[in-house]
Every structure is written in C-alpha cells, then in structure tokens.
C-alpha cells in the first residue's frame, strides 16, 4: 500500500467509529418486515405467473424431451433493429436486445420480495439494485445483461433456448444466452416462442444502437428526427448503460424541462466531473447532463441547474444510481 | 428463528452500520439502509442461513440499498443528521482523516462503493466484483480512478511506492 492508501484506510476506519449505535436494530427490522409483509400480501393478489433465468455459475439444463432450438443470431452485425410496437430495444455496453414492451426493469432475483410467484419479466443490468435474499427459484423472468468474465454458461450452446428443470429457474421456463465480445445476455421467458424471439434479437453494437447511441461517448452521433429526443446514458466508466428515443409529447415535455431549468448559480465545484452522464440530442441541440448537482448542465443557451423535471426526463426507466449533491428529485421515475 | 436472527444482528449489526455510515456519510441513511436490508432478510432467514453465508448476503443488501435510487427518494423524508461541510472549510481545521473521508463521499457512487469496499472492508478485487456484479477489471478501474480523483481533490502527489 502507498502512503496515501494507508491514510485513506485510516480515514475510513476513523469515520466508521462515529457510526450510530446498533441498539434496537433487530426490533426495527422486525417492524419493517411486518409492514412489508402486509404490503406484499396486497400486491401478490395480482401477481402474474411467469418464467425465470439465472446467470453466474449456475447450470442450465434441458429436460430431454424437448431439445434446444437454434436461434439465428449474428452477434457481429451492427445493423440496429428499429423499435416496433412489438418491443423495445434495450442496450447495455455494446450489446442490445429487443424485449416485449410490457417487460419492466429491475432484478430477476427479487421477485419474491413482492409476490409469491415469479412475476412480470424485467430487464436487469449489472449494478442495478440486487436484493439478494435467496428467492427460490433464484431468478424470475426477463433479461439479464452480464459481463462475460467469470460467467459459466457452458451448460448449453449460445444462441439456443432450452427448457429448464433446475430449481434455479421457474418450472418449465425457457432459457437461452448469447455473448458478443466481453458482454452477453441471458433470457428467461415463459414460452419457447418468446425466448427465441428475444434471443434472436441479440446483437453487438459496433456503430450505434437502434436509438442512435454509441457504446462510448462519441464526437458525432446520427441526426435525430424533428420532434424526437435521444438519451444516451453513460456510466462512470464511459460505457453506454442505456439508450432511449423519446418522441411526440414526451420529447416536447423533455425539451421544455431542459429549457426551463434556471441558470446555474455562481459557485465553485471542487470535484472534477466524472459522470454518470446523459447525452441529450434533439434535431437542433445537444448537451450533457451530469448527475452532479454542483456542476449543473449545459444546454442551448448556457449552463443550468439540475431540476426535478430535468431528472424526470433524462433518467431512463430502470435507472438505479444516485445523484451527487442536493438535487430536487422528481416524485417518481418514468416507467 | 427469532432468537437466532437477533443473535446474528447483535454480532454483525454494528459492523454493517459502520459500513453503511462510511458509505453514506449520514447516520439516518445508514440506519435506514441496514434496517431495510435486515427487514428483507428476516422473512427468509432460515433459507439464507441454509444456502450460504448470511454475512455476505446482508452486506451485499446493505451496499445495494445504499446505491438504490429509491433510497435517494426516501432521504427527503428523513431528517439529515449532519450538515455536509464543504471541503474547503474542513481543510482549515487540519482534521486530515475527516477531510479524506469527506472527499471520498464526493466521489461518483460507483467509485465510492469500490473504494470503500477495498480500503474499509479490505476486500479483494474479486470479492468486490462478486458483490457488486461487475467484472474484476471494472472494479480495478474504479478504484484506480477513485484514488486519482481523491488525490487531485486533496492536492496530493502521486506516490508509486
């Protein structure tokens, strides 16, 4: 360790010594669990039975009587699929997949928090909120993006879907995975057809994705149609985390929110800008919104302060990060 | 199960609270994160104990509770225990440790989590990768960038020893 690392370790331990007293933790947790249980009982009345999938050292297995079905994929293709009424494109880093419009966002492994059966499929990105509380099966339905390093998915071939019999997945769910470069996607769906369609849409993004976003921030991006607004959200590592293309009234409301943000106050920010940040593009303007209250954001006619309305529109659905500083947050996120 | 859970919380709770406090810099948020994680673990306590290491499970839940967007929403409903003192002001006090920690709290969230898990929890890069769900290379990058940002803010020379 360097001297600086030693100082840092010492500083963090010193800070920890000032932590609050742990007295009463267990009773407080019990009270919260009671409230959560009552809320869950209400929610589970409308629970939907679905399918699940898991990644990360978990064996995937066919049940023998229904062999794997080959899905035509071309992971090297850079031709981005156009979103249709039948689905939406979800991108993470340099891979993308098209999922049914009704699929939500979240973690595949948390279905048992809200219901008694695996429910609505969700799209999961690494670093999302993962309440790892050992649901059985361990994962519900949806799509999970993953970094290939350290994953063990050799139980069956990439690009094929298989019926699961393992305890890690919902009974009779259909699963498949694929990988391009160092990133991949795992699909768990209730039906073979749905699993195949989602997996077949998997592709590597070598240029821009279906929404016009590049895997890393670029000097130039494709033009945006009049009336549309493109959001490319990048993480602190400058990898694309999610993309979105707003149109119609949504795009107009987003532009209005950006323009209505007050001019940035006169203040000095000590920490350099490092993201996460969102690149916002319209037909005649573009700018970066960094999730840092001090720095604000640059848009059209100058620098502005972050507002709740701006965050409402630029934070893509399913975002689970934080905003540094004292930012007025929206009442809810877009779904 | 209740007695066993209480026993585990009595033993591990203080450590979890310290980790949450180092991550959040706020007593109310730290208590909120730990209580929430424990509340989620409690109904499945027997299962958690039977399938794995409860320490790892709950620690991961605390870290993720901290990084949750929804936690940020709840923060508005909770009185802030301590005012955030600007770095420049703290620098005049000569309290070096506090200054370093406050600077750490100002790191972007992903870097802050990686730095705290590395230098407070003393976890290996592979352990941090498993806990946060990102590749080990990404963890190394975040720690490295976090250290660089801290050095810059604190006006430190880079030492390579």
Other Cβ atoms closer than 10 A to A148: 13
Judging by DSSP bridges, how do beta strands A142-147 and A122-124 pair with one another? parallel
Statement to judge: residues B92 and B58 lie in one domain? no
- Say if the ipTM goes beyond 0.90: no
Q: Does B53 touch chain A (CB under 8 A)?
A: no
Contacts of B112 in chain A (CB under 8 A): none
Residue B23: predicted pLDDT: 87
Q: Is B98 helix (H, G, I), strand (E, B) or coil?
A: helix
Statement to judge: residues B33 and B58 lie in one domain? yes
Residue A113: predicted pLDDT: 66
Q: What is the pLDDT of residues B31-76, one digit of tens each?
A: 888 888 888 788 778 877 776 677 877 777 777 765 554 444 433 3
Statement to judge: residues B148 and B97 lie in one domain? yes
Residue B81 maps to a domain: no
Residue B145 maps to a domain: yes
Domain hosting B13: range is 2-75
The predicted model gives A106-122 an average pLDDT of 76
Of B66, B83, B72, B81, the closest CA to residue B121 belongs to B66
**Residue with the larger pLDDT of the pair A153 and A54:** A153
Report CB contact under 8 Å: B115, A8. yes
B66: domain CATH number? Answer: 1.10.1740
Of B39, B104, B110, which has the smallest distance from its Cβ to A33's Cβ?
B39
Q: Would you say A115 and A218 are in contact if contact means Cβ atoms under 8 Å apart?
A: no
Residue B161 maps to a domain: no
Residue B56 maps to a domain: yes
| A-to-B residue pairs, Cβ atoms closer than 8 angstroms | 220
Using pLDDT thresholds of 50, 70 and 90, give the confidence band for residue A320: low
The predicted model gives A289-295 an average pLDDT of 80
Interface test with A, best of B4, B40, B115 (most A CBs within 10 A): B40
Q: What is the pLDDT of residues A38-53, one digit of tens each?
A: 544 433 332 222 222 2
Strand intervals (E) in chain A: 69-70, 88-92, 95-99, 104-105, 122-124, 142-147, 160-163, 174-180, 183-189, 203-204, 229-234, 240-246, 277-281, 286-290, 297-299, 302-304
A56: tokens are: 């990360």
Statement to judge: residues B7 and B48 lie in one domain? yes
Q: Structural domain tally of chain B?
A: 2
Statement to judge: residues B39 and B104 lie in one domain? no
Q: What is the pLDDT of residues A139-168, one digit of tens each?
A: 889 999 988 754 555 566 778 888 876 777
Using pLDDT thresholds of 50, 70 and 90, give the confidence band for residue B92: very low
Q: What is the pLDDT of residues A177-189, one digit of tens each?
A: 898 988 999 999 9
Alpha-carbon radius of gyration of chain B: 17
Give B160 to chain A, closest Cα distance, Å: 7
Least confident window among A57-71, A104-118, B104-118 = A57-71
Residue A195: predicted pLDDT: 93
Residue B82: predicted pLDDT: 39
Residue B123 maps to a domain: yes
Report CB contact under 8 Å: A36, B60. no
Statement to judge: residues B15 and B62 lie in one domain? yes
Residue B20 maps to a domain: yes
Using pLDDT thresholds of 50, 70 and 90, give the confidence band for residue B122: very high
Q: How far apart are CA A130 and CA B56, in angstroms?
A: 13
Residue A51: predicted pLDDT: 24
Q: Would you say A208 and A248 are in contact if contact means Cβ atoms under 8 Å apart?
A: no
Q: What is the pLDDT of residues A60-70, one digit of tens each?
A: 333 434 455 55
Of B17, B68, B116, which has the smallest distance from its Cβ to A129's Cβ?
B68
Least confident window among A5-14, A77-86, A99-108 = A77-86
For tokens 């669990």, the residue is A33
The DSSP string of A228-251 is: -EEEEEE-TTS-EEEEEEE-HHHH
Report CB contact under 8 Å: B38, A26. yes
Statement to judge: residues B67 and B7 lie in one domain? yes
For tokens 């991006």, the residue is A221
Residue A229: predicted pLDDT: 96
Query: Of the residues B75, B107, B123, which one is the last residue of a structural domain?
Result: B75
Query: Widest CA span of chain B, in angstroms?
Result: 53
- Cis amide leading into A281 (omega within 30): no
């Amino acid at each position: 360790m360097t001297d600086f690392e030693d100082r840092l370790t010492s500083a963090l331990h010193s800070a920890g010594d000032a932590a609050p007293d742990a007295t009463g933790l267990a009773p407080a947790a019990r009270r919260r669990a009671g409230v959560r249980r009552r809320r869950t009982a209400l929610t589970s009345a409308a629970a939907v039975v679905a399918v699940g999938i898991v990644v990360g050292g978990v064996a995937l297995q066919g049940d023998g009587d229904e062999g794997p079905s080959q899905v035509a994929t071309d992971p090297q293709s850079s031709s981005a699929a156009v979103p249709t009424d039948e689905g939406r494109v979800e991108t993470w880093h340099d891979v993308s997949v098209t999922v049914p419009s009704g699929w939500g966002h979240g973690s595949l492994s948390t279905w048992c928090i809200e219901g008694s059966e695996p429910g609505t499929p969700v799209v999961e990105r690494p670093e999302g909120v993962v309440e790892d509380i050992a649901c059985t099966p361990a994962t519900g339905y949806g799509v999970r993006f993953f970094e290939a390093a350290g994953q063990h998915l050799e139980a069956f071939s990439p690009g094929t879907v298989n019926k699961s019999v393992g305890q890690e997945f919902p009974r009779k769910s259909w699963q498949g995975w694929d990988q391009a470069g160092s990133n991949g996607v795992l699909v768990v769906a209730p039906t073979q057809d749905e699993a195949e369609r989602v997996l077949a849409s998997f592709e590597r993004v070598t240029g821009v994705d279906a929404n016009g976003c590049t895997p890393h921030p670029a000097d130039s991006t494709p033009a945006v149609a009049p009336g549309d607004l493109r959001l490319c959200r990048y993480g602190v590592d400058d990898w694309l985390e999610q993309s979105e293309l707003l149109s119609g009234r949504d795009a107009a409301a987003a532009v209005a929110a950006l323009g209505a943000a007050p001019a940035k106050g006169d203040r000095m920010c000590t920490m350099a800008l490092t993201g996460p940040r969102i690149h916002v593009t319209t037909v005649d303007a573009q700018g970066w919104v960094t999730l840092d209250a001090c720095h604000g954001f640059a848009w059209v006619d100058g620098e502005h302060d972050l507002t709740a309305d701006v965050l409402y529109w630029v934070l893509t659905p399913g975002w689970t990060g934080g905003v540094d500083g004292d930012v007025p947050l929206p009442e809810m996120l877009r779904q | 199960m209740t007695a066993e859970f209480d026993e585990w919380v009595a033993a591990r709770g203080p450590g979890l609270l310290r980790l949450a406090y180092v991550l959040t810099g706020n007593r109310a948020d730290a208590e909120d994160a730990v209580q929430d994680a424990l509340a989620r673990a409690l109904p499945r306590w027997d299962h958690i104990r039977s399938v794995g290491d409860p320490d790892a499970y709950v620690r991961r839940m605390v870290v993720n509770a901290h990084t949750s967007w929804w936690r940020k929403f709840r923060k508005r409903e909770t009185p802030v225990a301590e005012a955030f003192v600007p770095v420049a002001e703290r620098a005049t006090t000569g309290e070096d440790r506090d200054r370093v920690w406050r600077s750490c709290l100002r790191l972007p969230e992903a870097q802050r989590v990686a730095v705290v898990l590395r230098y407070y929890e003393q976890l290996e890069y592979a352990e941090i990768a498993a806990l946060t769900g990102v590749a080990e290379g990404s963890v190394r990058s975040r720690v490295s960038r976090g250290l660089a940002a801290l050095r810059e803010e604190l006006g430190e020379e880079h030492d390579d020893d």
